[in-house]
Amino acid sequence: MIIDATFWVAVSFFIFLGILVYFKIPQKIKDVLNKNILNIKNQIVEAEKLREEAKNILSEYEKKISNSKAKVKLMIDNANEEVEKNILETNKEFHKMMENRKKNTEERVRQMKNQALKDIKNASVKIAIETVEKLFKNSIDKSKLDKIYLSSIEETKLALKKKSS
């Protein structure tokens, strides 16, 4: 039998395998792989726990957000109602104030009208008295009297126009 290199490679391979089995290398590799598998499983379990916690926190915050939205909506509604009340109240006050001003203005106009009428009456009486005085002073004939009468009417008209302006 001829021993060639292939034989020695096969023998060395089996010796290598024997050394591996003797030093329990496959068992150690298996233990390391099992530790890694357990570590990965633990990390997966921990990740799932964290995911559940995150879901719980998310749902809590979503509830808080919905509650906050409801509170904000309620606050906005209350503010709108308050604004509407204030607008109505201000509008009422404005109308009352305008009504009072209107009444005051009407009263002033009435007073001014009465005063103007008094002034016109006084001026008319004064002009009439002056005219009568002129008539008595000038007791003249009818044609002069007509002229004086027409001129006094014109004077009265002018005086009334001046007073009313």
Q: Looking at the domain assignment, is residue 17 inside a domain?
A: no
Q: For residue range 99-150, what is the model confidence (pLDDT) as tens digits?
A: 999 999 999 999 999 998 888 888 888 888 787 777 666 665 667 767 777 8
Range of the domain at 159: 24-164
pLDDT in the model for residue 125: 81
CB contact at 8 A, 140 and 149: no
Q: Is the pLDDT of residue 159 over 80?
A: no
Angle at 17 between CA 16 and CA 20, to 5 degrees: 90
Q: Looking at the domain assignment, is residue 9 inside a domain?
A: no
Whole-model pTM above 0.75?
no
pLDDT in the model for residue 82: 94
pLDDT in the model for residue 1: 58
CB contact at 8 A, 131 and 152: yes
Q: Looking at the domain assignment, is residue 7 inside a domain?
A: no
pLDDT in the model for residue 120: 84
Q: Is the pLDDT of residue 163 over 80?
A: no
pLDDT in the model for residue 164: 67
* Structure tokens that stand for 97 in this block: 């104030």
pLDDT band at 89 (very low <50, low <70, confident <90, very high): very high
Q: Looking at the domain assignment, is residue 10 inside a domain?
A: no
Q: Looking at the domain assignment, is residue 72 inside a domain?
A: yes
Q: Looking at the domain assignment, is residue 55 inside a domain?
A: yes
pLDDT in the model for residue 146: 75
Contacts of 163 (CB under 8 A, 6+ apart): 116, 119, 120, 123
Q: For residue range 29-53, what is the model confidence (pLDDT) as tens digits?
A: 999 999 999 999 999 999 999 999 9
Q: Is the pLDDT of residue 158 over 90?
A: no
Average model confidence (pLDDT) across the chain = 87
Q: Looking at the domain assignment, is residue 19 inside a domain?
A: no
Q: Looking at the domain assignment, is residue 15 inside a domain?
A: no
Structurally, the chain folds into a number of domains equal to 1
Q: Is the pLDDT of residue 13 over 70?
A: yes
Contacts of 40 (CB under 8 A, 6+ apart): none
CB contact at 8 A, 134 and 163: no
Q: Is the pLDDT of residue 15 over 90?
A: yes
* Structure tokens that stand for 127 in this block: 């002009």
Q: Which is more confidently placed, 22 or 36?
A: 36
